[in-house]
Structure 1
Amino acid sequence: MMNFTITVPASTANIGPGFDSAGMALNRYLTLHVREHDEWVFETRSKHLPPAEDAEQHFIYQIAERLASEYGAALSPCKVIVKSDIPLARGMGSSASAVVAGIELANQLCSLNLDLDRKLEWATKFEGHPDNVAPALFGGFIVTAATKKTDQVEYFRTDELQVDLVLYVPDFELKTETARKVLPDTWSMADSTAASGIGNVMIAGLISGDYELAGRMMEADLFHEPYRASLIPNYEKIRLKAKEMGAYGTVISGAGPTMISFAPKGSGPAIAKGMQVELPDYTVEVMEVDKKGARAETFQEN
C-alpha cells in the first residue's frame, strides 16, 4: 500500500436564503496522513479536535467502514495522523469535511475508483444534505438540489465569484442540532414562495456579478436566519458594522455561530481590521475560496 495524504477544505453553507443548498469551500483544511500499519491507529494533532478515540470509535473510520461494507470490501489497517484547522461546531462544515475524508479513505484503501458524482451521492446520504459536502468535494461555489424524483444530487459549480470573504469566528460552539430545533417544521405556501424567490434572486446576483443585489438578498432570508438570529451573539452588530465598512452582505455561516461577509474585491483586509476592533473576542480573518476540493496524494517516507 502506498502512503497517502487526504486533504479536505472547510465550507460555508446556506449563504442566507440558499438554505441546505448553497455552499462554498474555504481555505481551512482537515488533513489525514495515512500509512500502512499492523493495526488501526488514529492520532490527533490539532487544538480543534478532541483526543483520538479507539480507531473503531472514530467518526472518520466509521464513515470509511460504512462505505467499504457497501461494496463488500475490507479496510487495510493503517495509522492515520489527523490534523485540522477547522473548528468544531462553528458553522464551517467540520462534520462534512470528516464525512468526505472518510469516503476518500475507503476509496483509496479499497481501490473503489469512485468518481466525484458517486462520492457526492454517498456523502449526501451520510451527511443528510449536500450543501457542505458538495463544496468540500468539488471546491468553489456550488448550488445543489437533492431531487426525490431521480434520487440524484444535481449541482451547479463556479469559481468565478469576484468577492472578498471576511469570516467572524467566535470562541464558542453552536451545535447544528440546536440550530435546527428553532426552525419551524412547515412553511406556508406564501412564505415558501417568497423565501424561494429571494434565494433565486441571490443566486442570480452572485452568478451574474451583481453583488449588491446578491448582498441585499442574503440579508433578506426567510428560511432560517430570522429564527437563528437569537442564537448568535452580535448578529445584528456584525451585519450593521460590516455594511458600514462596505460589505455587500453578511450571513450566518452554516448553522452558526460563525458569520461571513461578502465584500468588494480588495476590501477584505480593511474590513477585517476594522471588525476585529469591534469584535475583540472573535477571530476575524479574510478567507479565500478553495478551488480544488478534496484530494488524495501519495507521499514517500523520509
Structure 2
Amino acid sequence: MKLLNIRSVGLSLSLEKGLPLGSGLGSSAASAAAAAVAVNELFGGKLDSRELVLAGLESEAKVSGYHADNIAPAIMGGFVLIRSYDPLELMRLEFPADKELLFVLVSPEFEAPTKKMRAALPLEIAMPHHVWNCSQAGALVASILGGDLAGLGKALSSDKIVEPKRAPLIPGMEGVKKAALEAGAFGCTISGAGPTAVAVVEGEERGEEVGKRMVEAFRREGNLESVAMVKRLDRIGARLVSSVAR
C-alpha cells in the first residue's frame, strides 16, 4: 500500500492456500506473493515485479526473515538469483523454453521448525567446503541456463554445508535421497529448511515412480507417512487468475 501511495484505504484479505505450514515449501512467501499481486491488481497494477518483491520482503521479514529466496521466484517465476539486497538486485535465470523440468516434492508428517533448522547450521565454514559449495552454485546456474537436468540435479545434491547438518534432524532423509537417486532422479536434497524432500526429474511417469520410492523410504527409514507431488517449473510466477466485479 505504501509503494502504491495509498494511505486512506484499509484491506482485509482471505487466503486459501494449498501448502502445508512449516514444510520447507515457502508457504509464507506464497501468501506474501498472492497478497502483493492481488492488492496491486486491485489498484490498477502499477507496480512492477521488483517493487512487488520489495513489498513481499516486508511481509516475509515479519514471519521468516528478510530474504528473497522464496518471494522473488514466487512473484517472478522460474529461477531468480538474488545478487544483492542493498540495493536489491534480482537476476532472472531463464531455463530453456524447449525443455521440461519437473520436481518431485515429498512432504512427511513431521515438523521441522525453521528456527530449529537454522540453529543447526554452523557459525563457521571450513574453506574447502566454502570453495566446494561456491563451485556447485556456479554449476547450478550454468545448468539452469543450459537446460542441463543432470548437471542441475548433481549440483543440487552436492551441498557440503547445510544438508549434512539438517538431514540427520529429518528421520529417514538420507534413505529418501538414496531412494530417489536409485529410482532415476537427477538429484535430491532438502527443500528449504525441510522436512520436504525435493528431487529433479524429467517426465511425469518418472516423477511418479521416484515419488513412490521416496514415500516408501520415509516410511521404511524414518517411520513417517508422507505425500508426494510432481510439479512442473512455473515460469510465470504469481498472477491474476480471475476477478469478480462487486
TM exceeding 0.5: yes
Is residue 83 from structure 1 mapped to residue 19 from structure 2 by the alignment? Answer: no
Residue 195 (structure 1) shift: 1.5
Code of the aligned partner of 1:237? G
**Cα RMSD between the aligned structures?**
2.5
Question: Residues 29-108 of structure 1 correspond to what in structure 2 (within 5 A)?
Answer: 67-68=1-2, 71=5, 73-78=7-12, 80-108=13-41
Residues 183, 209 of structure 1: alpha-carbon distance in 2 compared, 3 angstrom cutoff: same
Structure-2 change in CA distance of 1:77 and 1:244 (3 Å): closer
Q: State whether residues 246 and 264 of structure 1, in contact with CA within 8 Å, keep that contact through their aligned partners in structure 2.
A: no
1:154 is aligned to 2:90: yes
Question: Is 1:199 matched with 2:132?
Answer: no
Distance in 2 of aligned mates of 1:113 and 1:192: 41
Q: Distance in 1 between matches of 2:143 and 2:200?
A: 12
**Alpha-carbon displacement from aligned partner over 1:78-120 (angstroms, at most 9, x marks no partner):** 5x43211110000011111122233334434555711111112
Q: What is aligned with 1:144?
A: 82
Deviation string 1:230-269 (CA, Å, 9 cap, x unpaired) is: 2211111111111111111101111100011002334112
String of CA shifts for 1:206-247, please: whole Å, max 9, x gaps. 322332232222221123111111221111111111111111
Uncovered stretches (5+) of structure 1, i.e. residues with no partner: 1-66
Task: Give 5+ residue unaligned stretches, structure 2.
Answer: 61-65, 220-224
Q: Do the aligned partners of residues 257 and 136 (structure 1) sit closer, same or farther apart at CA in structure 2, a change above 3 Å counting?
A: same
Q: What is the TM-score with the length of structure 2 in the denominator? A: 0.82
Q: Distance in 1 between matches of 2:116 and 2:37?
A: 29
Task: Tell me if structure 2 keeps the 8 A contact 1:68–1:110.
Answer: no
Asked if residue 123 in structure 1 is aligned to residue 52 in structure 2, the reply is: no
State the 1:182 CA deviation.
1.0
User: CA separation in 1, counterparts of 2:54 and 2:34?
Assistant: 14
Match for residue 64 of structure 1? none
The 1:114/1:239 distance shift into structure 2, 3 A limit, reads same
Which residue does 1:276 correspond to in 2? 215
- Judge conservation of contact 2:78–2:236 (CA < 8 Å) in 1: yes
Q: Which structure: greater helix fraction?
A: 2
Q: Which amino acid aligns with 1:152?
A: L
- Mapped contact 2:102–2:233 kept (Cα < 8 A): no
Picking from 155, 163, 166, the partner of 1:228 is 166
When the two structures are superposed, what TM-score results if normalisation uses the length of structure 1? 0.68
The number of residue pairs the alignment matches comes to 232
Between the aligned partners of 2:88 and 2:26, the Cα distance in structure 1 is 21
Q: Displacement of 1:275 after TM fit?
A: 3.2
Pair 1:186–1:123, CA change in 2 (3 A)? farther
- 3-state DSSP class of the match of 2:185? coil
